[in-house]
Amino acid sequence: MLSRNIRFLSRRYSQALTFRTSEASPTQQNENQIGLFYTMNNDLCKQLFSHGGLPKSFTKQAKTFTETALMVRHPALDVINCIKATDLNKPAVRYVLYGEKGTGKSLTLAHLLHFAYEDGFLIVHIPWVSEWLRRVPRHKEMSNSQSREGLVDIPLDAAAWLLHFKMQNQVLLKSGDLKISQEYVWSKREKTDAGAPLAELVEHGITRVKYACDVIDVLIKEIKLLSNSKKCKTFVAIDGFNSFFYPLTRLRTTTKKKVTPEEVSLTAPFMNITKNDWSNGVIVLTTDQLAVPADRQENYLPKYLLYQKGFEHLDPFVPVEIGRYTEREFMSCANYYRDRLWLRGPPELESELKLTSACNPYDFMELCAPL
């Protein structure tokens, strides 16, 4: 009896102490690693997330901790297992990650992106939709679309996204198997021939910023065609997807007319790729309260955030809730913070922090900051 108690205690103790796993590849992770941190390779991290994708507060944290470590959590593993089990010849399955503020939707998406990269997917990733539609710095470049009447272009953001796309898919684009199907004429002198590699199209969008929005439109169509013809498998990840369905953006045209999301020329291609009329692809979206203004933040459920329109657009989808920390995840996180010198002090601190943060990961991180 006594020895069993001791064994039980020692096992609990050892569980409390281990917070790291050496299994750095998301394709190999399984249920045993839930709640443990794995460290991402720095080069890979730079390749995948150098143009956004990790929340700002997390990047700051990663700099202080001198490593980028992600926690293996249940929802991410669930989605990974689902993707592994999916028959890719069927229409693309859509997953919607949802949850309260600060529970780690974006980080789960980052984990899934890492998985997609390891598994050889072509990645189409928007780090944060509101960056296009809701963030208006002093000089936001805007122009009327040349090709489509009544639409508004945001060429600089589009070019930045193309750069992000190029960065994330370096390996696949370099291999050169991906060819475009038809000829595109941009102006009298500029055109892209049929059969040119996809990289050339992307390069054109980056060098000729004026055409960046049109290039994205074409690129998305081509990616769909390529996926359908089994040339590549595609992983679409969009953070803050519900921003596309909020009635107004914060953009204004030069005539001070307010712009709706449909009038932005970047909306249409991504609406197109989130339909399930194509195969050989996986679509992971997040709906976030922070992507819309305060008047639409009462609830975190997807139906409320996506409006009727967005819900019908996505229906049917697989909802995946990202919850707060469980007991074990919380202890592992606290131990990780102690290891990284972020948390210090008597052991009673954990129970107090657990109470005040209510196991919300972001709140926990914030509360640890001044200690």
Residues near another protein, by CB under 8 A: 64, 66, 340-342, 344-346, 348-349, 352, 369-371
CB of 63 to another protein, least distance (A): 8
CB of 60 to another protein, least distance (A): 8
Indicate the residue among 185 and 355 with the shorter CB distance to another protein: 355
Indicate the residue among 65 and 307 with the shorter CB distance to another protein: 65
Indicate the residue among 190 and 366 with the shorter CB distance to another protein: 366
CB of 142 to another protein, least distance (A): 28
CB of 179 to another protein, least distance (A): 47
Q: How far is CA 95 from CA 82, 109, 321, in A?
A: 10, 11, 10
Indicate the residue among 199 and 349 with the shorter CB distance to another protein: 349
Indicate the residue among 317 and 330 with the shorter CB distance to another protein: 330
CB 205 within 8 A of CB 216: yes
Residue 268, SS3 per DSSP: helix
Whole-number Å distance between alpha carbons of 231 and 137? 39
Indicate the residue among 109 and 368 with the shorter CB distance to another protein: 368
Q: What is the DSSP letter of 121?
A: P
Please give the sequence-ordered ranges of beta strands (E in DSSP) within the chain, or none if there are none.
37-40, 68-71, 93-98, 122-126, 143-144, 152-153, 184-185, 191-192, 234-238, 281-286, 318-321
Q: Which residues, 6+ apart, have CB-to-CB distance to 53 below 8 Å?
A: 106, 109, 110, 113, 125, 127, 239
Which residue's structure tokens are 């010849």? Answer: 89
Q: Which of 300, 271, 200, 233 is nearest to 92 (CA)?
A: 233
CB of 45 to another protein, least distance (A): 18
Indicate the residue among 40 and 368 with the shorter CB distance to another protein: 368
- ω into 316 cis (within 30 of 0): yes
Q: Which of 131, 134, 115 is nearest to 123 (CA)?
A: 115
Whole-number Å distance between alpha carbons of 24 and 4? 34
CB 292 within 8 A of CB 243: yes
CB of 337 to another protein, least distance (A): 11
Indicate the residue among 18 and 64 with the shorter CB distance to another protein: 64
Q: What is the DSSP letter of 92?
A: P
CB of 234 to another protein, least distance (A): 39
Indicate the residue among 277 and 352 with the shorter CB distance to another protein: 352
- Number of continuous H segments (helices) and E segments (strands) in the chain: 15, 11
> What are the φ/ψ torsions at residue 86 (nearest 5 degrees)?
-75, 145
CB of 350 to another protein, least distance (A): 10
Sign of CA dihedral 331, 103, 127, 219: positive
CB of 59 to another protein, least distance (A): 13
